Chains A and B, each alone.
Chain A
């Protein structure tokens, strides 16, 4: 691979990895609080449509990102209402949030733009080359000439790590996810902590969706989240519920996806569907080979207060 190809590969890795990282970092917080939100996909697609509409209405892609974050938070709010407020099963409510998010965005999109078939053109988030850093050979343009939402992912990883492992709030959040009974006995508001964590995860998933529409594709298409919400959940496991490792795992998955495109070019006679599966197989292998010793938060997916009596 020559220098230009390497740079293109790295750039694609980061471009594909950044939205995953945003969504997965949010899910990390949610799961650390004991809530598995498989409705993440719904928040991402909601964020994508919200981002598209916000950017079109205001003409500002920045305002679009905020609108996307709001849409992602709203869908997570519906999830929180049922899964935490009403203590319904997290898996079922999460599935509903995903399917509902995909359906509603489709309906809204068609009623606003009609089923024209012509792709929407959106104002896009410009790349912001960071002075100095972006001039580094090969990695410079790939890592440091990106939209600001990508830098947000870089900054969030250490910030969330500090929050989880070095602050009192982080300690309380982890306690809620490990042993809600003990947390309650210590006077921590279990449900409130969980709701806030889920809303935060929805906020970040919304930004991830807006990033897809405004920095990545420059358009909105129905179902454009393309399973990223589920992949983000796998990335959280791969990153062992640790924000720093989750960022690395996201970039690893982005690199696997980017490599898959390269492989399509090299092996033109191999059915491309097989190559499309490559990043998933790699993730499975990584999960199986590496994850052995890690452990999910003990109270993950366990409702609080417990459903049946004592």
Chain B
């Protein structure tokens, strides 16, 4: 085989007490799409940030085309031809698309901003890749999908030899994913290398030539596509047999009970002044899961806030119960306080609960017991008992939040992408919990009910997800949310392709 375009040898890196990378190695060759797989917190993003010079490794070395890359410098990495499309957008909302693309390029002299040249080259890239983009538009007004396209164009603009993409498909619909994979294939056909971080195995296996699997900061598998299959990769990722997370337990079906929430012609004006939610009618009953699919940024946020009583609609009426649990999309901003420890974060949901107080005082012993039950029940890995939410990894933070919200025995549960960021085992576990909760299984409803809370009637559940498979797997009734409109998915369209068509087609309907 030819010499590798990128070679990373025994890279290690710690963040305080957490060993993010222990012994991570990777070789990616010219002309291949190389997938980097691993559970949440396995170190995939950290390894790629080392490659791009954004993080200085504690040990190990990075070679690009046999030349050692000096550690911890983004300029050296960029000069060596490495470009990265980040998972979290690195665009400046106040600038236009062209200005964002020009940022950090050597285009023009320092005293002139050669935006005309940027526009010209963007038009050429648009032609080559088939990526439509409005170069003069401010980024703030773009949809999430359009921002993703700008990120990709920004990376391609520098003509990288090696392009790194961190979970690029999470904000794309099925058709857009196909298109993105087409672009990646044409890039490697020209001799470039693509490094693709992902977590959806079937998606990755469709496009990858070779795969590297990380587990707890170590490389545990490197193989050609032909040599691996999905179950084998899953085993490598979690280090043991998986309980088949498939559709074994019949999720769908069951008797729906009394109505817990009703929305009538609800409209919500978004922060930018445009209508984020339009004329939505929806009823939710106890014991059912309402699944709402769609690409991010189509009004999910606003609709979830209305359902959970945290936002008043601009028009129409919303009739929602008082006890609503919300698992918000942005888990760093909603739900947990980073500087609070486990018991304090638990107290945020239970401070009013009679079993958790003595008169006006919080009963911290009871609160710690409940926190302990959540930690054990949801397998939250914590470094110590006084650990703050900040010190937990993203996936564990999420398990803590989900565990707490399920423990409240709500009348209505609103969840935005609750599985995102969870590893395979935790996602399967959460999926089972949701189904149990819907069936009114007391083992879930009583987590945290330390004071002998009576078994509670099952809640209604509204599940927002960008993962259409997840919606189809779990939901009793399925909708797609497109530009603020809620469209019911008819029985014959209950498959990813059908939902994708609804998401693309009925924009103006």
Contacts and interface: CB of A to CB of B under 8 A. Distances in A.
A309 B103 CA distance: 26
Interface size class of A (residues with CB under 8 A): 20 to 34
B133 to A, nearest CB: 18
B15 A168 contact: no
B66 interface: no
Interface stretch (B104-112, B258-266, B437-445): B104-112
A185 B84 contact: yes
Nearest to A178: B92
Contacts of A166: 112-113
A171 B90 contact: no
B153 to A, nearest CB: 14
Given A179-B92, A181-B90, A168 B102 contact: yes
A182 interface: yes
Given A171-B102, A188-B104, A182 B111 contact: no
Interface string B70-97: 0000110010000010100011101100
A169 interface: yes
A181 B84 CA distance: 13
B113 A308 contact: no
B386 interface: no
Interface string B40-63: 000000000000101000000000
Interface in A159-214: 166-172, 174-175, 178-179, 181-189
B113 A171 contact: yes
B90 A182 contact: yes
Given A167-B110, A168-B109, A169-B111, A182 B74 contact: no
Nearest to B338: A308
B111 A187 contact: no
A188 B113 CA distance: 15
A90 B107 CA distance: 33
Nearest to A170: B113
A182 B111 CA distance: 21
Contacts of A179: 90, 92
A183 B113 CA distance: 16
Contacts of B78: 187
B39 interface: no
Given A184-B74, A187-B74, A188-B103, A168 B92 contact: no
Given A175-B92, A182-B90, A167 B390 contact: no
Given A167-B113, A168-B110, A185 B102 contact: no
Nearest to B91: A182
Contact of A309 (B15, B90, B104, B113): B15
B16 interface: yes
B341 interface: no
Contacts of A295: 94
Given A168-B112, A178-B94, A186 B103 contact: yes
Interface in A271-310: 295, 308-310
B235 to A, nearest CB: 29
A172 B16 CA distance: 32
Given A167-B113, A171-B113, A181-B90, 17 more contacts: A167-B112, A168-B110, A168-B114, A169-B111, A175-B95, A178-B94, A179-B90, A182-B91, A182-B92, A185-B52, A185-B90, A186-B74, A187-B75, A188-B103, A189-B75, A309-B15, A310-B15
8 contacts: A168-B110, A168-B114, A171-B113, A175-B92, A175-B104, A182-B92, A184-B74, A309-B16
Task: Give the top 3 A-B pairs by smallest Cβ distance, nearest first.
Answer: A186-B104, A182-B90, A187-B75
